[in-house]
Amino acid sequence: MAEDHHIARMAALALGLSVLEAAIPSPLPGVKPGLANIVTLIVLARYGWRTAVWVSLLRVLAGGLLFGNFLAPGFFLSLGGALCSLAMLAASQHLPQRWFGPVTHSILAAFAHIAGQLLLVYFWLIPHTGLLYLVPVFAVAALLFGTVNGLIAAHFLSEPDTDLAKAYILKTH
């Protein structure tokens, strides 16, 4: 029960970050920082992969309802990206922690996210090879935002305070 509340709180925090970044203009649909993934990374490191799956999928579902694109293409793109990221994290979490930190998980998940979304777009929405021209742009975005989000997650993980929401509020005030 306490764990359910915890998952809900983390998902709500992730959702808040999704809403926040929806206000940031993007040069290309699909290129956005993915700030909500910082929460997923922290949850992964502190509470394990299963909890991260819950938080991530709840965020996608609630985000779909909140943004009004539930079961629309945008929702399935979010879901596809999240599922690919989580699959990648399932593998990358077994990398030795001594050498691989949140930045590794973040970059790998960002690449998996964009790869999943591009495949979904190609096979479902736009079956045109012109899409290939956009792949390097998305790769640069994945690398950049993956690194930055990983660093932010690493920063929070180095804080002694285990209550993420509290830490977040303290940081912003």
Partner 1 sequence: MHSPLAYLKAGDYLILVSGCLLTVFLALTLWQGGAADKAIIRSGGKIFREVPLSRDQLIAVPGPLGISRISIHNRQARIAADPSPRQYCVRQGWLKQAGEIAVCLPNQVSIELSGGNKRYDSLNY
- Residue 103 touching partner 1 (CB under 8 A): yes
Tokens of 13: 């925090």
- Residue 34 touching partner 1 (CB under 8 A): no
Instruction: Tell me the C-alpha distance between 66 and 146, whole Å.
Output: 25
Instruction: Tell me the C-alpha distance between 173 and 160, whole Å.
Output: 18
Segment interacting with partner 1, rule: CB under 8 A, options 25-33, 41-49, 63-71, 134-142:
134-142
Instruction: Tell me the C-alpha distance between 84 and 124, whole Å.
Output: 16
Contact between 35 and 20 under an 8 Å Cβ cutoff? The reply is yes
- Residue 145 touching partner 1 (CB under 8 A): no
Best CA proximity match to 63, nearest among 8, 6, 18, 22? 18
Q: Which residue in the set 128, 160, 172, 173 belongs to the binding site for partner 1 (CB under 8 A)?
A: 128
Q: Which residue in the set 4, 68, 98, 160 belongs to the binding site for partner 1 (CB under 8 A)?
A: 98
Q: Which is nearer to partner 1, 5 or 128 (CB)?
A: 128
Contact residues: partner 1, CB under 8 A? 95-96, 98-104, 107-108, 111, 127-130, 132-133, 135-136, 139-140, 142-143, 146-147, 150-151, 154-155, 158
